[in-house]
Amino acid sequence: MPDDKDKENYILFKLVGTTYGIKSDDVSQMEMVEHITPVPNAPDFVEGLVFLRGEVIPAINLRARFGFEKIEYDIKTRIIIVQKGERKVGLIVDNAREFVAIPGEVIKPPPETISGLSGQYLQGVATMGDRLILILNIEKVLNFTNIKTSV
Amino acid sequence: MAASIEQITANMVSLTSSINETSSSITETSSSIKNVADVTQEMVTSATQVTTSINEIANSIRHVSTETDSLVTSINDTASTIDEMAQSIKSVAENAENLASAAEETSSSINEMAASIEEVSATSENLAALVEQISATIEQTVHSVQGVSTSAEKISESASSSASASMQLDRSIRSIANLAKTADEITNRATKDAQEGASTIEKSIKALLKIKETMKQSSTVIRDMGKRSSEIGSIVNTINLIAERTNLLSLNASIEAARAGEAGRGFAVVAEEIRNLAERAAKATSDIASIIKTFQEVTQEAVTTTNEGLKIAEEGSTLAEDAGKSLKKILLGIEDVAQLVNQISTATNEQLTAGQNLVNEASITATQAKQIANATSEQSKAVYGMVQISGQMRKIAQQVSQAMAEQAKASRNIIKAAQNTNNYAASVSRATKEQADGANQIARVMESMKKSTTIISKAISEQATAGEQVSREALRLARLIENINRAMSEQANAANQIDKAAENMKRQADQITKAMSEQSRAMKDTSFAIDNIIKQIKLITGGNIKQSELTTKISELILDIRRFFEKDVEIVHDSEKIISNLIEKVKSLDILWKKGQSKLG
């Protein structure tokens, strides 16, 4: 099915009322926030470390990473474990409960006006009916070197 | 008058003295006649003198004869005059006695009058004092009547005001009676209403107690419901957690299925269906959670509301109990009020009758007070009239007392004058008595004189005839006396011889005397009588002149006396008039006094 080949599966999550999309292939697993071990001298957006399936994974508060205010964790809070190459990072988001297939023609590059500082984290913007989904550029999100140097 | 009476008495005294003088003159006459006889004897002794004297005697006898005739007539006239005088003196004496008695009576009556005037004066003074007292009393009465008048007017005003006030009182009592009736009805209604209210309150208290119990029950039920709903909430949370976990699991399954590719396709569908179920379960649980939340809110509200309702019910029951208690008190109060209203209505009924009586009495009092005010105003008028009358009375009494004082003075003067008159009359009567006695004596003397004069006249007529002889003899005697004279003149030459001759003559004269005594036995008598007569006549004529003067004086005095008596009479008439006026004034005073007393009474 050619239709199926054009489509890609995305995990949709919500952050500060906005729906973001992340490729299902980049996501290894999802968990509820149960226990995070804080890391000393870590940057503000790094919540600490989580222990999952025998692995120690750093957990990043995506709100803090995107410059938003932090909120308390609740039953809907999720950690999305993202894998790019050897690197595994946990992204703490407000909510994540959808698994959708988005056709490639729907995804469009982000507008020039927001392509500045925030635009570097976005791969594109997908529209599905009324819904507007921001597709994350995971590599940029997981690029810590800039962040580390900045820290 | 006294002076005139004094004059009269003096005149009478002079009259009596003159009469005495007359009698003494008569006695003197007799003595002088004796002296004449002596002289004649002496004359006889002197022969010459005797002859001449005999001639003279003869002449004188003639003369005397004629004179004696005229004397007789004059004596007769005198006698008759003296008789008349005596009669008049008698009448004067009688009149004097009458006068004296009249004067005494007058003086006694004047005394009585004076006494009565004094009494009247004293009485009028007392009357004046009484009038003063009466006028003072009347002035006091005026004051008191004025006070009574003003107080009567005030009483009248207050009586009329009290009458109007009692009318108002009557009206207000009537309105109070009506009000008491309406109050009675209202209290009866209020009693009924309060009783009904009390029963209603008791019912509502019971109902409130029931409500309280029900509220308690419902509140416990609602609390149970709240508990249950929270249990449901925890269950829902669990379901929600399960749903979340199911969703997470389905997502992980989907990720794994996608990784598996073509092999994991069916698994992906299952995972999606599981995710949908989980999604539905989550939605249902969220609905349930919201419903339970609202239910919990409602139950909470119900709990608070029931609690409030419980409180309100408790408060309402306590309030209802209080209301019941106060209603019971109100009932008791209303019963008291009803009793009081009953008492008030009975009292107002009594007051109504009493007020009606009061109104009647007040109207009667007002009319009486008006009558009293009118009567007092009339009384004050009458009293003013009395005051004026008492002033007039006072003036009259003062005038009367003044007049009485003047009368008393005049009566005292009259008494004095009457006493004087009395004295004078007594002296006059005495004098007239003496005069009468003297006149009687004179009359007797005159009678005897008359007899003697008739005798004398007879003797004188005899003497006249004898006197003719005597005169002839006297002529001869005269011649003889001439001779004697001649002899005497011859004898005068030789006084001693004369003396001797005189002695002889004495003897001769003695003889002559004897002869003469023989001769003129009648002569003696005659000459004696004549001399006497002459002297007496002289004296009588003098006395008569004096008497006539005196009688004229007496008559004048008597006229004076009569005038004085007429004046007395006039005075007495005046005093009578005054007394009658006094009596009239006293009568009018008495009438006024009686009027005053009757008005005062």
How much is the pLDDT for A21? 94
How much is the pLDDT for B46? 47
B508 pLDDT tier (thresholds 50, 70, 90): very low
Of all residues in chain B, the percent with pLDDT exceeding 90 is 2
Which of B1-5, B546-550, B595-599 has the highest mean predicted lDDT (pLDDT)? Answer: B595-599
Higher per-residue pLDDT: B261 or B33? B261
Question: How many beta carbons lie within 10 A of that of residue A59, not counting itself?
Answer: 24
The residues pairing with A11 across neighbouring beta strands, listed in sequence order, are A22, A99
pLDDT over 80 (residue A132): yes
Q: Is B251:A96 a contact under the CB 8 Å cutoff?
A: yes
Q: Is B279 on the interface with A (CB under 8 A)?
A: yes
Mean pLDDT of B171-186: 80
Backbone angle region of B295, left / alpha / beta, with phi > 0 → left and psi within -120 to 50 → alpha: alpha
Cβ within 8 Å, pair B251-A97: yes
Q: How far apart are CA A135 and CA B82, in angstroms?
A: 219
Q: How far is A10 from chain B (nearest CA, A)?
A: 9
Residue A20 makes CB contacts below 8 A (sequence gap 6+) with A12, A13, A14, A93, A133, A134, A135, A136
**Which residues 33-52 in chain B show a CB within 8 A of chain A?**
none
Q: Is B573 on the interface with A (CB under 8 A)?
A: no
Determine the residue among A97, A100, A102 to mutate to test chain B binding: the one whose Cβ has the most chain B Cβ atoms within 10 Å: A97
Tell me the three state secondary structure of residue B266: helix
pLDDT over 80 (residue B153): no
Higher per-residue pLDDT: A21 or B511? A21
CATH code of the region A2-150 = 2.40.50.180
Angle CA B330–B333–B335, to nearest 5: 110
Q: How far is B270 from chain A (nearest CA, A)?
A: 13
Q: How far apart are CA A106 and CA B161, in angstroms?
A: 118
> What Cα–Cα distance (Å) separates residue B562 from each residue in B143, B530, B571?
61, 43, 13
Closest to B586 measured CA to CA, from B119, B112, B114, B137:
B119
pLDDT over 90 (residue B599): no
Q: pLDDT tens digits for A64-74?
A: 888 889 999 99
Chain A residue set in contact with B, beta carbons under 8 Å:
9, 11, 24-25, 27-32, 75-76, 78, 96-97, 99
pLDDT over 80 (residue B123): no
B457 pLDDT tier (thresholds 50, 70, 90): low
Which of A19-33, B8-22, B452-466 has the highest mean predicted lDDT (pLDDT)? Answer: A19-33
How much is the pLDDT for B317? 80
Q: Is A50:A103 a contact under the CB 8 Å cutoff?
A: no
pLDDT over 50 (residue B461): yes
Cβ within 8 Å, pair A24-B258: yes
Q: Is B286 on the interface with A (CB under 8 A)?
A: no
Strand ranges of the sheet holding A122-128, from the earlier edge strand across to the other edge: A95-103, A7-15, A18-23, A131-136, A122-128, A107-108
Q: How far apart are CA B546 and CA B552, in angstroms?
A: 10
Nearest CA in chain B to A79: B248
How much is the pLDDT for B519? 46
pTM above threshold 0.95: no
Determine the residue among B250, B251, B276 to mutate to test chain A binding: the one whose Cβ has the most chain A Cβ atoms within 10 Å: B251
How much is the pLDDT for A20? 93
User: How buried is B114 (Cβ within 10 angstroms: 0-12 exposed, 13-18 middle, 19+ buried)?
Assistant: buried
Q: How far apart are CA B451 and CA B498, in angstroms?
A: 44
pLDDT over 90 (residue A31): yes
Cβ within 8 Å, pair B248-A28: no
pLDDT over 80 (residue B189): yes
Q: Which DSSP state fits A41? A: T
Tell me the three state secondary structure of residue A17: coil
Q: How many A/B residue pairs have CB atoms within 8 Å?
A: 39
How much is the pLDDT for B494? 43
Lowest-confidence region among B222-231, B446-455, B460-469, B521-530: B521-530
Which of B55-69, B212-226, B430-444 has the highest mean predicted lDDT (pLDDT)? Answer: B212-226
Q: How far apart are CA B161 and CA B362, in angstroms?
A: 9
Cβ within 8 Å, pair A29-B252: yes
Q: Using a CB-CB distance cutoff of 8 angstroms, which residues of chain B are in contact with residue A74?
A: none
Q: How far apart are CA B368 and CA B377, in angstroms?
A: 14
Q: Is B156 on the interface with A (CB under 8 A)?
A: no
How much is the pLDDT for B484? 45
Q: pLDDT tens digits for B236-255?
A: 888 888 889 999 999 999 99
Q: Is B172:B316 a contact under the CB 8 Å cutoff?
A: no
Mean pLDDT of B288-315: 83
Backbone angle region of B261, left / alpha / beta, with phi > 0 → left and psi within -120 to 50 → alpha: left
Q: How far apart are CA B244 and CA B248, in angstroms?
A: 6
Of B241, B250, B279, nearest to A75 by CB-CB distance is B241
Closest to B527 measured CA to CA, from B57, B46, B73:
B57
How much is the pLDDT for B299? 83
Q: Is B25:B533 a contact under the CB 8 Å cutoff?
A: no
Q: Is A90:A79 a contact under the CB 8 Å cutoff?
A: yes
Q: How far apart are CA B21 and CA B543, in angstroms?
A: 8
Mean pLDDT of all residues in chain B? Answer: 68
Q: How far apart are CA B300 and CA A131, in angstroms?
A: 40
Which of B172-181, B491-500, B567-576 has the highest mean predicted lDDT (pLDDT)? Answer: B172-181
CA B217 to chain centre: 113
How much is the pLDDT for A38? 92
Q: Is B579:B118 a contact under the CB 8 Å cutoff?
A: no
Cβ within 8 Å, pair A30-B258: no
Residue B485 makes CB contacts below 8 A (sequence gap 6+) with B48, B51, B52
How much is the pLDDT for B435? 62
Q: How far apart are CA B505 and CA B249, in angstroms?
A: 258
For residues B275-286, one letter each, b for 16 or more C-beta atoms within 10 angstroms of the residue's C-beta and e for the rest, the string is beebbebbeebe
Q: Which DSSP state fits A111? A: P
Instruction: Please spell the DSSP secondary structure of B108-167, one letter per residue.
Output: HHHHHHHHHHHHHHHHHHHHHHHHHHHHHHHHHHHHHHHHHHHHHHHHHHHHHHHHHHHH
Lowest-confidence region among A135-149, B99-113, B183-197, B343-357: B99-113
Please compute, for residue B246, the number of CA atoms within 13 A of its CA located in the half-sphere on the CB side: 18
Q: Is B240 on the interface with A (CB under 8 A)?
A: yes
Mean pLDDT of all residues in chain A? Answer: 84
Q: How does strand A122-128 pair with strand A107-108?
A: antiparallel
Lowest-confidence region among A139-148, B267-276, B289-298: A139-148
Q: How far apart are CA A31 and CA B192, in angstroms?
A: 82
Q: Is B275 on the interface with A (CB under 8 A)?
A: yes
pLDDT over 80 (residue B64): no
Instruction: Please spell the DSSP secondary structure of A128-149, one letter per residue.
Output: ETTEEEEEE-HHHHH--HHHHH
Cβ within 8 Å, pair B255-A11: yes
pLDDT over 90 (residue B560): no
Sequence-distant contacts of B392-398: CB under 8 A, at least 24 apart: B393/B131, B393/B134, B393/B135, B393/B589, B393/B592, B393/B593, B393/B596, B394/B128, B394/B131, B394/B132, B394/B135, B396/B585, B396/B588, B396/B589, B397/B124, B397/B127, B397/B128, B397/B131, B397/B589, B398/B128
> Would the CA dihedral through A118, A120, A121, A123 be positive or negative?
positive
Tell me the three state secondary structure of residue B312: helix
- Extents of the domains making up chain A: 2-150
Strand (E) or helix (H) holding A38: none
pLDDT over 60 (residue A116): no
Q: Which DSSP state fits A33? A: -
Cβ within 8 Å, pair A29-B255: yes
Q: Is B441:B26 a contact under the CB 8 Å cutoff?
A: no
Q: How does strand A78-84 pair with strand A87-93?
A: antiparallel
Q: Is B252 on the interface with A (CB under 8 A)?
A: yes
Give the residue carrying structure tokens 């007040």.
B362
Q: Is B13:B431 a contact under the CB 8 Å cutoff?
A: yes
Angle CA B279–B281–B285, to nearest 5: 115
Amino acid at B240: N
Both tokens assigned to B136: 């003072």
Cβ within 8 Å, pair A75-B240: yes
Q: Is B254:A100 a contact under the CB 8 Å cutoff?
A: no
Q: Is B57:B518 a contact under the CB 8 Å cutoff?
A: no
Tell me the three state secondary structure of residue B97: helix
Q: Which DSSP state fits B601? A: -
Question: How many beta carbons lie within 10 A of that of residue A55, not counting itself?
Answer: 10
pLDDT over 70 (residue A105): yes
Q: How far apart are CA B531 and CA B529, in angstroms?
A: 5
Both tokens assigned to B64: 């005397």
Q: How does strand A87-93 pair with strand A55-61?
A: parallel
Q: Is B426:B174 a contact under the CB 8 Å cutoff?
A: no
How much is the pLDDT for B250? 92
